[in-house]
């Protein structure tokens, strides 16, 4: 039986209390975004391991058919012993239950690619691309809609920036194209030409940057299919794999207690944490300074985000399943592919997990609606799963506290103070108004 929704443990409250604070700090300070898929999928320099990993990312990408997040998919290959020797078994999990049509698509693909050869791979690639574009229609239409939206806002600027008629014609063709195959080809094959040129001009222009991002996404299916075909031609173990779908975990609501979302209380508590790298007093000061910089919005933000629903994200379902069942990965490569870079929570969870899994790429975005895998009480007779989960929550909390220190720029603040005291300058750091903070703290 899985753990119910109402029994929040102390460790979880502590973790979400600080995760909520980090989330609120991120809201106005932001973190870097990671993109991927900007290389050609048929790159022959890939090693077997890299190809196998790229295959997992690519198959996950093709299964992620809805732009809203429910179909974010993760994949791993288990080493599987049978009478014919060692085989691979492909495990798939998604944030929400995997749809039958996605499952059937994968089964069909694996069956169809079993007899791939250098002679027939072109035909098989075209078939897979056609089927994957059809499956991903909703996501592709969403991206095309985004292209049109941003193009409308930067159309005039592009005409001024680019005198090159070829680029203008290319953009115009993308704008009006409705056939997904032609649209995908148009975007994929321009990656190292016109799209790169557009990207070079995009650094100063937000809408052009968004436009290039979504044009890249429109070509990503063809990239994924090319990768899968290349991997199949070069990695023999893939030809014998069968697929197994993992059930997704239930959606669970979390309501943080009132004292856990009181800004003053949370600042006091975190300042007394034994996990801090710097002094609690400095962190306390910097948190109040951040509140000032945010226009005093942090206390209300903490309260606004005190209730949310959580899911066990796809990659954590796979990590948990392999860990709980003590399954071996093919070639001992503990890699879990995913259709999107991991969120902050999943990235930390995998990085800190005692199972030694490969740390995934991450966009570092703090998403509150993510939780650690649930414990199956009936299965966890020795309590090992519960222990790992409890320890993981403690480890994550420790890292979140340290990331809060980093997010409020405590390091720069302290270095700046040191610098100011040594050069005798009377200038205050731009982002820090000490008198104001002291008033707040005293008040
Ligand atoms: Zn996640």
Dump pLDDT digits (tens) for 430-439: 333 343 343 3
| pLDDT given for residue 196 in this prediction | 84
Dump pLDDT digits (tens) for 161-216: 887 788 888 999 999 999 999 999 999 998 878 888 888 877 778 888 899 999 99
CA angle 149, 152, 156 (to 5 degrees): 150
CA 421 to chain CA centroid, Å, is 42
| pLDDT given for residue 43 in this prediction | 52
Q: How many angstroms separate the alpha carbon of residue 115 from the centre of ligand 1?
A: 36
For residue 76, the cross-strand partners are 91
Phi, psi of 342 (to 5 degrees): -65, 150
Residue by residue, what is the 3-state secondary structure of 281-316? HHHHHHHHHHHHHCCCCHHHHHHHCCEEEEECCHHH
Residue stretches of the chain with pLDDT short of 70: 1-8, 28-45, 410-443
| pLDDT given for residue 413 in this prediction | 63
DSSP character at residue 376: B
Q: Which residues surround ligand 1, an ion (CB under 5 A)?
A: 313, 343, 346, 370
Q: How many angstroms separate the alpha carbon of residue 10 from the centre of ligand 1?
A: 21
| pLDDT given for residue 38 in this prediction | 37
Q: How many angstroms separate the alpha carbon of residue 81 from the centre of ligand 1?
A: 31
Q: How many angstroms separate the alpha carbon of residue 424 from the centre of ligand 1?
A: 47
* Distance (Å, whole) CA 177 – CA 191: 17
Q: How many angstroms separate the alpha carbon of residue 366 from the centre of ligand 1?
A: 9
| pLDDT given for residue 82 in this prediction | 85
Q: How many angstroms separate the alpha carbon of residue 371 from the centre of ligand 1?
A: 8
- Measured CA to CA in angstroms, residue 166 lies from 115, 143, 176, 199 at distances of 41, 23, 16, 16
| pLDDT given for residue 436 in this prediction | 36
| pLDDT given for residue 55 in this prediction | 96
* Distance (Å, whole) CA 107 – CA 60: 13
* Distance (Å, whole) CA 79 – CA 332: 8
CA 26 to chain CA centroid, Å, is 16
| pLDDT given for residue 31 in this prediction | 56
Instruction: Write out the two tokens for 31.
Output: 């973190």
């Amino acid at each position: 039986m899985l753990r119910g929704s109402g029994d929040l443990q102390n460790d979880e409250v502590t973790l979400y209390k600080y995760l909520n604070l980090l989330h609120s700090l991120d809201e106005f300070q932001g973190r870097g975004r990671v993109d991927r898929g900007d290389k050609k999928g048929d790159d022959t320099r890939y090693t077997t391991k890299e190809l196998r990993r790229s295959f997992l990312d690519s198959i996950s990408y093709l299964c992620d058919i809805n732009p809203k997040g429910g179909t974010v998919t993760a994949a791993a290959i288990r080493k599987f012993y049978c009478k014919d020797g060692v085989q691979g078994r492909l495990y798939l999990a998604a944030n929400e239950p995997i749809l039958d049509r996605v499952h059937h698509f994968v089964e069909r693909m694996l069956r169809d690619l079993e007899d791939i050869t250098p002679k027939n791979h072109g035909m098989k690639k075209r078939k897979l691309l056609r089927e994957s574009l059809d499956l991903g229609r909703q996501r592709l239409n969403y991206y095309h809609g985004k292209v049109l939206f941003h193009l409308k806002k930067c159309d005039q600027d592009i005409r001024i920036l680019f005198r090159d008629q070829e680029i203008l014609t290319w953009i115009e063709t993308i704008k009006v194209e409705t056939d997904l195959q032609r649209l995908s080809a148009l975007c994929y094959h321009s990656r190292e030409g016109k799209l790169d040129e557009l990207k070079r001009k995009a650094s100063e222009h937000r809408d052009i940057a968004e436009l290039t991002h979504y044009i890249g996404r429109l070509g990503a299916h063809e990239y994924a299919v090319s990768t899968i075909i290349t991997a199949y031609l070069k990695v023999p173990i893939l030809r014998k794999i069968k697929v197994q779908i993992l059930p997704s975990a239930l959606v669970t609501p979390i309501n943080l207690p009132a004292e856990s979302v009181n800004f003053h209380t949370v600042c006091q508590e975190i300042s007394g944490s034994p996990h801090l790298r710097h002094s609690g007093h400095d962190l306390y000061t910097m948190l109040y300074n951040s509140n000032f910089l945010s226009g005093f919005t942090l206390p209300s933000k903490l309260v606004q985000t005190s209730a949310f629903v959580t899911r066990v994200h796809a990659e954590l379902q796979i990590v948990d399943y392999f860990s709980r069942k003590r399954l071996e990965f093919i070639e001992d490569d503990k890699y879990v592919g995913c259709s999107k870079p991991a969120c902050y929570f999943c990235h930390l969870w995998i990085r800190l997990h005692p199972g030694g899994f490969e740390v995934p790429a991450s966009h570092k975005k703090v998403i509150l609606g993510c939780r650690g895998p649930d414990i199956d009480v009936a299965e966890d007779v020795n309590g090992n799963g519960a222990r790992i989960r409890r320890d993981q929550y403690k480890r994550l909390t420790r890292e979140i506290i340290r990331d809060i220190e980093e997010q409020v720029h405590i390091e720069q603040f302290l270095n700046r103070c040191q610098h100011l005291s040594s050069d005798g300058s009377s200038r205050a750091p731009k982002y820090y108004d000490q008198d104001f903070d002291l008033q707040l703290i005293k008040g």
